[in-house]
Amino acid sequence: MQKPNLVHVGAFAVLVGVAACADAPVAPNAAVVGPQLAVAGTTTLVSDPSSDESTSVSPLLAQLDAQLEAAGSNMRVTKAELLVDGNTWDGVSSTVIIANNRTRGISSEWVAGDPRRDGRVGVTWTFGSSHPQQPLTRNPDGSNLHFVSFADLDTQLQEGLAAWRNETCSTAPVTRVPVPMGTDPDYLDDVVRTGLPSAAYAQPADIVESGWEPSGFFTAIGGPSGNSIIGVTFTFHYVDDVTGVATDIDNNGKFDTALAEIYYNTRFAWGTTQATNVVDFYSIITHETGHAMGLAHFGKVFVTKKDAADGSISIADIKYAPKAMMNAVYVTGRSEIAGTDNSSFCQIWASKK
């Protein structure tokens, strides 16, 4: 695999994050400038003219682009897709639109046969981090709080990847590869911690399951609201080595995806039960991996005026149109790949044989 030159990066200030919470009203027809967080919630909100999704231009992501350019890399940030905890919303006296997403894909896609990815039709993935963390799990009654082993985490990640690999509309392989000895497989964790990437960084795969990070990683991305972020997928696209302009070598109207890194929050208890006191491994991993495969958030998640009139929102009050794996908000229990998820995936991948 051709490795982007991301090692020799000059000093940059510590990154400044933005909040990440529910969609909020924005000025109509506001221009989108620079990389975006996919869930809105700050005073810097804009509306994406290509969809009805509200987004936020992120100083953090713009800073990453500056670092990548200074390093001579042929990659830039496309978007960061956040999955937030739906149990944190407070009741109000009118209808709450938590998410209303109708764009089936993000603004970049993997290119079948891309020579910059050694001509692969499908994608490779790996599990690795230079700062490995173990999340906690517990019984449905809250007892037996304990760490999840790395072997169990590996199993959960494999199930999430298999969910998309098993979609029958595409035969493009999703292949696991190892992390080369002596290298740092994830770029963003050190950048968020220190403002600089690791000198040992080398991209090991197309999709890097970077594992679990403490809550400080997510508040660095999203400010105090970062505590509601369960998982985040950062997608990068290629740029021309000479002009620095985003490339579209297959002329499909999308940037060419170069890398996706996925992170999960240790602040939550993780598990495989239907209990409300854990977040479901499969649901979150499959959702975030869907973003890495090119899928955007989809579906409307809302609470009606009638249900919110008592001043509080319960799990039973939250409604979906439609209910999908790629809904922007996770509430409780296990989600499954639904019809809209399947059609979104096939719209992107059916031609990649």
pLDDT tens-digit map of 138-159: 887 778 889 999 999 999 999 9
Instruction: List, in order, residues 6 or more apart from 267 with CB less than 8 Å away.
Output: 214, 215, 218, 227
Where residue 109 falls among pLDDT bands split at 50, 70, 90? very high
pLDDT of 265 above 90: yes
pLDDT at position 140, please?
Answer: 78
Which residue in the block uniquely carries the two structure tokens 């290629």?
A: 238
pLDDT at position 187, please?
Answer: 92
Q: Is 273 exposed, middle or buried (0-12, 13-18, 19+ CB in 10 A)?
A: middle
Percent of the chain with pLDDT strictly greater than 70: 72
Q: Which residue has the higher pLDDT, 162 or 18?
A: 162
CATH assignment of 36-349, among 3.40.390.10, 3.30.230.70, 2.40.30.10, 3.30.930.10: 3.40.390.10
Tell me the longest C-alpha to C-alpha distance in the chain: 59
Torsion of CA 82, 85, 86, 91, to 10 degrees: -110
- Interior/surface letters 222-241, b for 16+ CB within 10 angstroms, e for the rest: bbebbbbbbbbbbbbbbbee
Where residue 332 falls among pLDDT bands split at 50, 70, 90? confident
How many whole angstroms separate alpha carbon 84 and alpha carbon 233?
A: 12
How many whole angstroms separate alpha carbon 234 and alpha carbon 15?
A: 15
pTM for the full predicted model: 0.82
Least confident of 7-16, 210-219, 234-243: 7-16
Q: What does the domain layout of the chain look like in residue ranges?
A: 36-349
pLDDT at position 45, please?
Answer: 36
Where residue 279 falls among pLDDT bands split at 50, 70, 90? very high
pLDDT at position 7, please?
Answer: 26
Q: What is the 3-state secondary structure (H, E, C) of the chain?
A: CCCCCCCCCCCCCCCCCCCCCCCCCCCCCCCCCCCEECCCCCCCEEECCCCCCEEEECHHHHHHHHHHHHCCCCEEEEEEEEEEEHHHCCCCCCCEEEEEECCCECCEECCCCEHHHCCECCEEEEECCCCCCCCEECCCCCCCCEECCHHHHHHHHHHHHHHHHCCCCCCCCEEECCCCCCCECCCHHHHHHHCCCCCCECCCCCEEEEEEECHHHHHHHHHHHHHHEEEEEEEEEEECCCCCCECCCCCCCCEEEEEEEEEEECCCEEECCCCCCCEEHHHHHHHHHHHHCCECCCEEEEECHHHHCCCCCCHHHCEEECCCCCCCEECCCCCCCCHHHHHHHHHHHCCCC
Least confident of 77-91, 200-214, 225-239: 77-91
Q: How far lies 253's CA from each of 62, 206, 247, in Å?
A: 22, 21, 10
Where residue 78 falls among pLDDT bands split at 50, 70, 90? confident
pLDDT of 176 above 60: yes
Residues 269, 135 contacting (CB under 8 angstroms): yes
